[in-house]
Amino acid sequence: MMTDRIASLWPEIVLFITLSIVILLGLSPQAQWRRLTHWITGLGLAIALLLSLYAPEVTGLPVPALAQFIKPAACIMGLLLLLGMSAVDDRLETRLAQGLKFDPLLTTRGEFLAFFLLSLIGLMLCTSATDLIWLFLALELTSLPTYVMVASSRMKNVGHEAAVKYFFLGALSAAIFLYGFALLYGATGSLHLDEIRAALVAQYEETGSVSVLGLMGVILSVVGISFKIAAVPMHFYTADVYEGAATPVSAFLAFVPKTAGFVSIMLLGGMIVGLGEDGQTWPEAFRVLLWVIAVVTMTVGNTMALLQSSVKRILAYSSIAHSGYVLIGIIAGPGLWAAGTGAAADSSILTSNGFGAVVFYLLAYGVMNLGAFLVLACLHDPERHQDLESLDDLSGISRRHPWLAGAMAVCSLSLLGLPPLIGFFGKLYLFSAGVSAGEIPLVVIAGLNSAISAWYYLKLAGLPWLGQPSAVTDRLVPTPYLGRPAAAFLSAVGVLVLMVAGAPIMRAGSEATACDWGGAASVAATTPSPIEAADQRQSMLPPDDIDP
């Protein structure tokens, strides 16, 4: 048992060894050793990626194969994000080159990259959490390093102010979901997810409903974790923190804590899946909570984004809105491995999988959102000593920087969900899962919100090409850090690659998020997923060598 658990943690072990080396090299008085920290971090992520491709399933989880999808995705996104983190300690390094005496207390390069890796480790550990203590520690390991990353990423008071807001709201959210965990323990007498599930199923079979204490525990846990995914009512920090942090750190916040939050919600939801009234997927109180949070989150995010002039604030409210879209997949519920019938009696069939839509959309959103943020980080205003930030700054940049304008257009239109870009297929998968689950009003509201978002996404895509350059635009200079435009370009290319190769990734995500716990969950619907429905339609077509 312990051997199997260690085998599932090798990617995290490699990243921990990497950060230990990086933090020591970052304290070296020799510049060439300090410069190696980025390369070693990238090497550690590459090795962890290879190991994560062979990660075994984790027994005792409601979603045992979740790590097989999330861990590789985290490493891939980590490599892209690392390219954008190339400005750490830049001013100090310049002053050291000019003759400033080296003081290890002043350098932050190694520490910053160590916190970067620690947060990624926390995300990966969330996928392997088999008990509430592990899940709590993994969530906090994901969040705590980001507070320091925000504070140290910009040498301005605005960065420190953002970190303080982020920290105090984070502490509040931790208290809320920890109290929810305590209620779950009180309702079931166990901290292990499989034992909690068994106790809740036993209560359901005896009384026909989940105990009030257990249900309140799950609900409070989800409300607290809403902070991680930037969902209402725990969203207030988002715009200020994204604006105050360095642009690459804002991109990091939009993917890593958000993904950890949704992973945790899937694990907690897996404990009560199928335990609703009359065998519904969710207890009605839990479904209504998610429904309300999803509607309010996407509406507040899109409405507030319309009022912003800062591109970073627009993308921050966009991040809130996308959390609302992703919650549709949570409401649709996980797929279940069910016994086949008829000719497929000896096989298993994967039922409609909203969780699969969630993990696929998180990957797609991470790539296209990273590209949009890093375009901002590629241009610098030397007079104000800051990256491109406002819509006026963005206007007309195609005349001098057409590649950056093209990357912004591709990523923004994909965030909008314009076909045939990957954002369209991601939303289609989410909305199809919602329709399959009978949540048609919710899908209609999400469609209307997507239409509202067209106003600001088309601005982000069109202003670089159609707008007139401002005085600020004319003085923008390219960043000297080549990793940033490389990451922005790779993200735009990733949007196009996912557009072509999305089907196998969707299928992998659907299989990795199938719930393998039986009991009352066996009542789940058997509507095929969009992927399986397409495969069924394809099997009905005549062979190529027959003239129709």
Q: Do 284 and 148 belong together in one domain? A: yes
Strands 386-387 and 348-350: unpaired
Tokens 């190769």 belong to: 501
Q: Do 371 and 483 belong together in one domain? A: yes
201-220 pLDDT per residue, tens:
999 988 888 889 999 999 99
Strands 379-381 and 337-339: unpaired
Give the domain extent around 433.
Answer: 363-513
Instruction: With a cut of 90, say whether residue 82 has pLDDT above it.
Output: yes
95-109, 269-283, 476-490: which has the minimum mean pLDDT?
95-109
16-29 pLDDT per residue, tens:
999 999 999 988 88
> What is the rounded CA–CA span in Å between residue 115 and residue 136?
18
> What is the rounded CA–CA span in Å between residue 442 and residue 457?
22
Give domain status of residue 485, yes or no: yes
Q: Do 286 and 166 belong together in one domain? A: yes
pLDDT at 491: 94
Give domain status of residue 313, yes or no: no
Give domain status of residue 526, yes or no: no
Give domain status of residue 312, yes or no: no
Q: Do 157 and 290 belong together in one domain? A: yes
Pull the structure tokens for residue 162: 């953002």
- Mean pLDDT of the region 174-190: 94
Tokens 């300690």 belong to: 89
Last residue of a domain, one of 268, 297, 326: 297
pTM: 0.90
Q: Do 187 and 155 belong together in one domain? A: yes
500-522 pLDDT per residue, tens:
888 899 989 888 888 765 433 34
> What is the rounded CA–CA span in Å between residue 114 and residue 20?
7
> What is the rounded CA–CA span in Å between residue 450 and residue 457?
10
76-90, 196-210, 410-424, 482-496: which has the minimum mean pLDDT?
76-90
pLDDT at 3: 66
Q: Do 506 and 392 belong together in one domain? A: yes
> What is the rounded CA–CA span in Å between residue 499 and residue 504?
11
pLDDT at 4: 67
- Mean pLDDT of the region 312-326: 96
Q: How many CB atoms lie within 10 A of CB 192?
A: 15
Element (H, E) at 339: strand 337-339
Last residue of a domain, one of 297, 327, 347: 297
Q: Which residues pair with 310 in a beta bridge?
A: 390
Asked whether the beta carbons of 347 and 340 are under 8 A apart, the reply is yes
pLDDT at 352: 59
Cα 537–Cα 541–Cα 544 angle in degrees, nearest 5: 140
3-state secondary structure of 326: helix
Q: Do 112 and 56 belong together in one domain? A: yes
Pull the structure tokens for residue 220: 């409070």
Pull the structure tokens for residue 460: 């982000």
Q: Do 70 and 217 belong together in one domain? A: no
Instruction: With a cut of 90, say whether residue 428 has pLDDT above it.
Output: yes
- Mean pLDDT of the region 449-457: 95
2-14 pLDDT per residue, tens:
666 777 899 999 9
Give domain status of residue 350, yes or no: no
Give domain status of residue 38, yes or no: yes
CA distance to 80, 140, 432, 526, per residue, from 42 (Å): 9, 24, 37, 43
Last residue of a domain, one of 297, 329, 352: 297
DSSP string over 384-422: TTEE--BHHHHTTGGGT-HHHHHHHHHHHHHHHT-TTSH
> What is the rounded CA–CA span in Å between residue 504 and residue 491?
19
Q: Do 70 and 2 belong together in one domain? A: yes
Tokens 């320091």 belong to: 148
Asked whether the beta carbons of 520 and 62 are under 8 A apart, the reply is no
Chain mean pLDDT for the chain = 86
Q: Do 115 and 143 belong together in one domain? A: no
What's the chain's length in residues? 548
- Mean pLDDT of the region 276-294: 90
Q: Do 115 and 162 belong together in one domain? A: no
Give domain status of residue 415, yes or no: yes
The alpha carbon of residue 226 and the mean position of all alpha carbons in its chain are separated, in whole angstroms, by 13
Pull the structure tokens for residue 335: 């797929």
Q: Do 291 and 416 belong together in one domain? A: no
Q: 3-state secondary structure string, 365-385?
A: HHHHHHHHHHHHHCEEECCCC
Regarding predicted confidence, which is higher, 59 or 336?
A: 59
Q: Which residues pair with 349 in a beta bridge?
A: 338
Q: 3-state secondary structure string, 465-490?
A: HHCCCCHHHHHCEECCCCHHHHHHHH
pLDDT at 540: 37
525-536 pLDDT per residue, tens:
333 433 444 444
> What is the rounded CA–CA span in Å between residue 123 and residue 445?
30
pLDDT at 529: 39
Which percentage of the chain shows pLDDT scores above 70? 89
Give domain status of residue 98, yes or no: no
* Number of compact structural domains in the chain: 3
